[in-house]
Chain A
Amino acid sequence: MKSIEYNEQLERDVLAALSKPSPWYWVALVVCALLFVTGLSLWLYQILKGMGVSGLNNPVGWGTYITDFVFWVGIAHSGTLISAILFLFRAKFRNAFNRSAEAMTVFAVMTAGLFPLIHLGRTWFFYWLFPYPNQRGLWVNFKSPLVWDVFAVSTYFTISLIFWYTGLVPDIAIVRRYATGFRKKIYSIFSLGWTGSLRQWWHYNRLYVFLAAFATPLVISVHSVVSWDFAMSIIPGWHTTIFAPYFVAGAIFSGTGMVITLVVPMRKIFRLEKLITINHFEKIAQTLLFTSLIVTYSYIVEFGLAFYGHHQFEAAHFTYRLLGDYQVLYWIMLFGNSLLPLTLFVRKLRRSIVYLFIVSIFVNIGMWLERFVIIVTSLAKDFDPYAWGLYKPSVVEIGITLGSFGMFFMFFLIFVKVLPVLSVTEIKEEAAHE
């Protein structure tokens, strides 16, 4: 049973993060904001000029934008995984990460959600993708995986948001306690009059468990749906049954990578070493390693299907993926996703934060490239050789992609300054159990 002092201390440690930001914080924030705004203006330019400003063409109708979409959805998943699934399994180490992971989820889904709109030829009619009653008496085509996406992503966003917020309520209440003046007002509004009464806690826990249970299957369903955007088509390299599990694993893998990428600097900056310990990192590293193995297995299976099934088009495609115009990207991807993570079998490396950080960067790059390779190589060379063509991202596409990162990190930076980055209550709880 820890003493009151401990709790006081803990709260102060966590809330220290909310104290007056350093100039470096401002620099980072401004940089991200600028990227974000550049991205937006490029998008506007694209809307005014036409999709031609992208590098897309016949036959490659999808490229960077869809890659970004899948990438960000993937990122989102590990958030849910860490906070919800690990919560259900009562995995202690999660407490260090869950708050930022959940935040990450919310921001990533927001970012991801933009890309389907960005890639539309006539963005201004995006609302036609939603089933709403209209005088034309027209509905959406429920056969189309793109429509499934609409549902999957919107549901996912709503649930993640609620889940995240629910977890926040008790902590906001704590912040309210420490905050003053105008901020106090705001916090008290958002703490929904949390008093910490037993009854509230009882409800809170019921709701939190429920939401966790609700969010967990979404990880599977949402990314399966995303993968079906490809699997449901007939294009060699897309049209395969392993895509759903393959993409889900990939999502968790990339997400875990992103968690490390985010948490390492956060821990340093806000001096949370006491709370986010090396053991936590090792656990995460193990998750990373595990999912990496699943992903690698999927890569092998893909080729197996293509060549064992001696299907002319599939075989031709995978040869192309391995040795064709985009082979460099493919090899980088293999290195980042399959080879490098293997080193995490070594305990020493698993426990080296710097090393983990480097690996996580490679994983992020590798996973982005994985989606790019799958999307582009399949389209570049499909059935009719006459129609073959290459694709190269244009400045606009790169700009918008960077913009999306700007957006994501901007939100994240704002988050760490206005909300407790760690779940105080849960850490208390954990401590209490010891």
Chain B
Amino acid sequence: MDRRNFLKLLGISSGTALISSCGVDKANEKIIPYVIPPEEDIFVGNPAYFTTTCTECPANCGMQVTANEKVYHDVRNIFPTKLEGIAGHPVNDGALCMRGQASLFRLYHPDRIKRPMMRDGDGNFRVTTWKEAYAKIIVELAAATGEGKRNMYFSGRTTGTMSGLTDDFCKEMSVERLPEFEVFSHANLKKANDIVFNRPEIPHYRIENADFLLTVGADVVETFMNPVASANHIQKAKDKNNLSWYHIEPAVSLTGVQASKRFAIKLHSEVYLLAFLLQSLSQQNSLKKSLPARISRLIPDYSITVIAERTGLSEENLRLLLSRFANAKTPLIIAGGVSTAQENGLETAVFAALLQWATGMTDNTVDFDHAENYGSVGSMLDVRKLEDSLKNKQVGVLFISRTDPVTYLPEAEQFVELMKNTRLRVALSDFMTSTVQECDIVLPLSHSLEAWGDAAPRKGIRNVIQPAIEPQYDTRSEGDILLQIMAQKSGAASAQFYNDYLIDKWHSLYGEGETVGMLERGYREEPVPSLPAILSGDGTEAFLKNAGFVVESSDKPVLVITPSIRAYDGRSKVLPLMSEIPDPLTTITYGEWISVSDKTAKKMGWKDRDEVAVELNGVSLKFPVKVQHLLPENIYMVQRDLIYPQATPVDSRSGEESWYVKDISVNATGNHIPMPIMSGSMHEDNRGLLPPEEEEHPYEHKEEHPVGRMYAPHEHDNYRWGMAIDMDSCIGCSACVAACYVENNLAITGKKAHLNGREMSWIRLEPWVKDDETINYDLMLCQQCDDAPCEPVCPVYATYHSKEGLNTQVYNRCVGTRYCSNNCPYKVRRFNWFDFRLPEPWDKMYNPEVSVRTRGIMEKCTFCIQRIRHAKDKAKDENRLVQDGEITTACAQTCPTNAITFGNLMDKNSRVSKLAHSNRAYRALEELGTEPAVHYLPKKESKEEA
């Protein structure tokens, strides 16, 4: 049943609102009517907005879909063209990460499985009908139970109503539901909280309430838990209680670079640091709660010198940390990521929990009542269990849903072999993953933008999932599939639809009115019972008694396999946009690389793009080198999605898999691999892109020569659009870049083009290494200069200065001399070298408001002028001027930390003018006298820290 009738049944119509975007039909000479017009009042210029949930990663951000009316292949229909966070949503509050922005590429992906398939006699997949597939499953299930075998349901993280339905299904069909499989299971965290507080959960960290944040390895702004929320809350904390945020990590991460202070720590030695902090703090009794003696005496106690030696932190830094904790009112410690996924991981997590408890832990900071919904997520131990029962041929039918163990497990081949020991393997998936290849029946899943559902990212929040487009292929939602199988078994004439099932559930849970409210809002916050976390002496003591602390003695090279901000655990790699956008730390787009410490590189004489062979676990893998500043010597980094899963030690207590591959050897092969590193140089040399340093002010001569001008300065009557970018808030997550791609129909140009320096991004993040100690970013987009060098040189007026201060580009007037780009000191103009455009069916996502540029045309950022135009149109109807905050650009809209402020510089009270005139503000390459409309607020040098 389609959403229209469903909504009728609910008696509501989806909320239309805010910004819109639309367009007349493409230049086809036909004019296509609807056969049946949609129920909602959607017409050109008035798109529909649906509230739903992002399912690109387990964070489940609330998402608002913009669905536009347009004609595609001679059919007038509505298509989702843009995704944005739901403003005020408890998880992501309006923001969305780059993966979320890009998930339209999954919806329209050509490689999606388009119809159910079944393996035939000679082992090939052939298209089948749902009924047939179900029948086979039912038969096999019965047969398996007959044989006394166990059927198993193995899925990715499942929350909300779907979880309940799965249980019903399993009961009904006598199937065992296995713990869910997630690569980032955070098993050590859960275990540690179990040990220390008897709460085997991952609490909801309320960073916004902290005044001191210590992140131990947890890449909170990249992949840890909910990066969007964390980033957002860190900003809130900065504003509210002037948060200072320290990060400790053995390698280097974007998160570390963004923290106000970053300490590189020796491998495995986090636990010593934490122990030291506990002991020293209690000795100078600045602990809020003192640990019971039986615990504290089990905590190793070393002198500061020893610790300094073990951890590699200087003594003054250790003292600094101590004083921070001593003075902090509401400190917050988040251990995770590289620091908990290692031999000492569990200990680290436990000590972090203890330190948190001792330095003051309230529901304001560490909130177990709203714990992240990881309860039913298993660990490697559960995978081992599954493998055992497969080994012993105990499994009849194996359902594998929304997860891809064959890709993620080191022992892939073995697992494939074991899978063969089952009667029947049923895959529920949207893509032909390596796991699906090994199954007998493939049931294609609809994208969450084509299906109904709900999700519970953490306790107390229920997110709605509702479709914005009808299924494009013969796919179904997991809910429908399970219900239909059950129905077919019980011989019912027709199955209940999952959305009916949902409503019944929702009605019974929240009542009708609330259900409607929830659908309009897109989420519902529900009260949860509050029970405080109490320190469990026994558990902790028992653990500490036989806890062993690995000491990293050898300085052999170690490979750290890190998560990827672009691909998460690898699942988002199918989104082409994620390869098109540079990795924020290295600015590499396509292909694989190994990050090598600059010190090591210097020693070995390696440069970017030199190929090295990495010997690990008996195999030799080749990678091109990327020199990475701030990375400690002998540490190498490869992102998880760029290397096959490596066999690493698994903690027998928690089932957490270590991310370190030890005793590797790295040798240059002498080859050079072309690699698209977007950054021409990481050294800014005080050129005026970053704020000038006090001592040598590059603009010192500025007063000496006043700017003479041949032409009168530009007049602006009502508007001059401008932007303020706070690089202190910016965390380099690149969500803005993704948003720009989708909003403005930017083309995906591919690896070859990138190697030739032909990327199309209108906005980019530029990392700058400062004296090998810090990496600062600037966000470069068209500066909309008032005295723009690009304008006078265009022979045909294709680019010109609009009355509102924009350097607009009239695409169909451009003849392509490229003079404007040559003359642009910011190099933010992009030339369309070939007919760069999205291939079908991805072009369904094109924003009809924005022209798709063709071959030989120069294109550029115009502050999302389509949004400006629409706002002005609206204002004109109401016969007023555009208000401050009424328009926001795509990049600003999706920024988790609201680092970007867009508005009217002519309006002295607009937020942007206030920021632009703050004494922190500076402009890029100001010396050139281009009078940019973009004002930067520099990263605050944490001087008081040192």
Contact = CB atoms under 8 A, between A and B. Distances in A.
B131 interface: no
B683 interface: yes
Q: Which of B679, B686, B795, B834 has the most CB of A within 10 A?
A: B795
A50 B853 CA distance: 13
Interface string A136-171: 001111011111001000000000000000000000
Given A51-B831, A141-B797, A233-B789, A121 B816 contact: yes
Interface stretch (A217-225, A328-336, A376-384): A376-384
Contact of A386 (B764, B792, B794): B764
A312 B855 contact: no
A214 B508 CA distance: 96
Nearest to A394: B756
B680 A387 contact: yes
A61 B857 contact: no
B240 interface: no
Given A52-B833, A121-B816, A144-B794, A386 B858 contact: no
Contacts of A390: 757
Contact of A382 (B766, B796, B825, B858): B825
Contacts of B816: 51, 120-122
Given A144-B792, A384-B766, A387-B680, A58 B834 contact: no
B187 interface: no
A141 B687 contact: no
Given A58-B757, A121-B831, A385-B683, A144 B793 contact: yes
Contact of A125 (B678, B683, B815, B822): B815
Given A121-B814, A129-B796, A233-B789, A49 B834 contact: yes
Interface string A22-54: 000000000000000000000000000111100
A121 B795 contact: no
Contacts of A138: 796-797, 813
Contacts of A150: 795
A233 B793 contact: yes
B685 interface: yes
B925 interface: yes
B296 interface: no
Nearest to B820: A61
B542 interface: no
B835 to A, nearest CB: 6
Interface string A385-398: 11111100000000
Contacts of A52: 753, 756, 758, 833-834
Nearest to A386: B766
Interface in A96-143: 119-122, 125-126, 128-129, 138-141, 143
B796 A140 contact: yes
Interface in A261-313: 312-313
B827 interface: yes
Q: Which of A52, A56, A381 has the most CB of B within 10 A?
A: A52
A143 B823 contact: no
Given A121-B815, A121-B817, A386-B679, A141 B796 contact: yes
A412 interface: no
Chain B interface bracket (under 10, 10 to 19, 20 to 34, 35 or more): 35 or more
Interface string B775-819: 000001000000001001111110000000000000001111111
Nearest to A52: B833
A144 B680 contact: no
B680 A121 contact: no
B819 A50 contact: no
A62 B830 CA distance: 14
B794 A57 contact: no
Contacts of A128: 795-796, 813, 815
- Majority-rule SS of B interface residues: loop
A125 B756 CA distance: 26
B795 A140 contact: yes
A122 B827 contact: no
A122 B814 contact: yes
Nearest to B587: A386
A233 B827 contact: no
Contacts of B678: 386
A126 B817 CA distance: 10
A120 B758 contact: no
Contacts of A119: 817-818
A204 B838 CA distance: 65
Nearest to B778: A386
B311 interface: no
A59 interface: yes
A365 B464 CA distance: 70
B834 A386 contact: no
A49 B832 CA distance: 11
A387 B855 CA distance: 22
A50 B856 contact: yes
Interface string B491-519: 00000000000000000000000000000
A52 B789 CA distance: 25
Contacts of B855: 50-51, 121-122
Contacts of B794: 141, 144
A145 B793 contact: yes
Contacts of A61: 818-819, 821-822, 831
Nearest to A138: B797
B818 A383 contact: no
Contact of A120 (B698, B817, B822): B817
5 contacts: A50-B832, A51-B816, A57-B757, A143-B792, A390-B757
Closest 6 CB pairs of A and B: A121-B816, A388-B680, A121-B856, A61-B818, A52-B833, A387-B827
